[in-house]
Amino acid sequence: MLALRLARGSRPAVQLRRLLVAAASAGTGFLLLYVLTEAMDRPAGSLLRLLWALVPLAATVQLAVAVARTDPATRPREGLDAVGLGPVRLTLVGAVSTAVAATLGSLLALAAFLHLRGDLAGLPFDGAGARLLHADQPFPVAAALTLLALIPLTASAATALALRPRPPMTALSPQAGVPWGVALAACGLTVEAYAGPRGAALPAGWVLIATGLALAGPGLAYACGTLVQSARPGALRLLAGRALQEEAPRLGRPLGVLCAVGAAALTAVALREQGGPLTPLGPLTAPAGALVALCAAATLLTSAAESRRSRSAARAALLDLGTPGTVLRTAVTLRAGALIAVCLPLSWGVAQLTSMALTR
């Protein structure tokens, strides 16, 4: 009940982020239901389709964790321990809030799916949805509810794991994850070369590549900050570079995942030109890719909002010292430009390597 009251009394921006989690959960739930009905109509290849459907699930969980990190209800405050809201209870509040948003999205997906099949009332779109969703096959309610429960359970568990109270540890350098990230990405390329364009291990290869880029992301963002303030920098470049280096641990991982999504899109375009399109989820492949891309972009923007909140004290101090607001806005633009200048070639390079691995 406490989590629901805190969620109801949150600011509009916080509610909007929770609605994004619900929307992403609805899209993922719809894809899982489609895979289920497709497996009943065509059992061959059902496991591979389910593995591909887990990619949007992972993107949704990443977004849910990022939203929970920025939720004011999960932020420790002075005096909350006295009323029983310590770190453990706040973690529980964040997990419950995430579960509520994801459950709402799953229920919306179920309602939309049944409506398009004509199981609720009438057949919309002249029955086109019924043919796509195999309305002639019986709908397994128990299996559908099990698949839909996977979304809130996974999202809330990941949120609880991310927000759990941890003892203070020595901060590692952002570059420490770069060698591991490169190694994982190389393993992913090897798996894809072994699997081929339509192999069962292809989703695992993409997961390895995305994980590797996420691990290397903080180091790349830190290197961008170093590059910005190199070669006799002025006050503006120093401000932008130092801020980027400070934000690298928070922005690096979602930035690496977004690079992996961009590389996947470029690879799909290259495969279409060389040997036909890759459609592991049939007609819903493009919507599934768009869902993953939107989740990755929303996660990065949410992490950027969290970084902005953490720098609010430093920003206020600079304004009190007479720093013009245009300088701070230009520094933000410079940081964004540096990240784009590094991430676009990185995505293109990974896409080229992946295309060569799949069309060897």
User: For the segment 30-85, what is each residue's pLDDT rounded down to a tens digit?
Assistant: 999 999 988 887 887 788 888 889 999 999 999 999 998 887 766 655 555 544 55
pLDDT at 299 over 60: yes
pLDDT of residue 138: 81
How many Cβ atoms are within 10 Å of 109's Cβ, its own excluded?
Answer: 25
pLDDT, average across residues 2-10 = 54
pLDDT of residue 167: 67
Mean pLDDT, the chain, whole residue set: 83
Buried b / exposed e along 135-172 (16+ C-beta atoms within 10 A) = beeebeeeebeebbebbbebbbebbbebbeeeeeeeee
pLDDT of residue 123: 62
Distances (CA, A) of 342 to 42, 78, 178, 259, 348: 43, 41, 15, 10, 10
pLDDT, average across residues 265-283 = 78
What pLDDT digit, counting tens, does each position of 96-118 carry?
Answer: 889 999 999 999 999 988 888 87
pLDDT of residue 227: 87
Distances (CA, A) of 346 to 88, 255, 350: 39, 11, 6
| Structural tokens at position 346 | 């990185």
Label residue 276 by pLDDT band (50, 70, 90).
low
The rounded distance, in Å, linking the Cα atoms of 138 and 158 is: 33
How many Cβ atoms are within 10 Å of 248's Cβ, its own excluded?
Answer: 25
pLDDT of residue 86: 64
The label of the residue with tokens 């999960």 reads 74
